[in-house]
Amino acid sequence: MSDKERWYKRFWKFLKDAKAELKKVTWPSRPEVVSTTIVVIASVIFFGFYLFFMDIAFSWGITKLKDLLG
């Protein structure tokens, strides 16, 4: 029975410590979140198109190379 009590006490101590640490966190402001979200979305779109066109270019090149080599 004492092992369960120890586990229970350790769990509650963990939750209290986690809550205390979360109070120390400096959370970003709404404008910071919006601006970084826009940057992430723009980057994903840019690299998505970049990789799409690079895939097309390499596929075309490999096809031409295979046709050339037989």
Burial of 66 (0-12, 13-18, 19+ CB in 10 A): exposed
29-68 pLDDT per residue, tens: 999 999 999 999 999 999 999 999 999 999 999 999 999 9
* Position 6 pLDDT exceeds 80: yes
Band of pLDDT at residue 8, cut at 50, 70 and 90: confident
* Position 16 pLDDT exceeds 70: yes
Band of pLDDT at residue 7, cut at 50, 70 and 90: confident
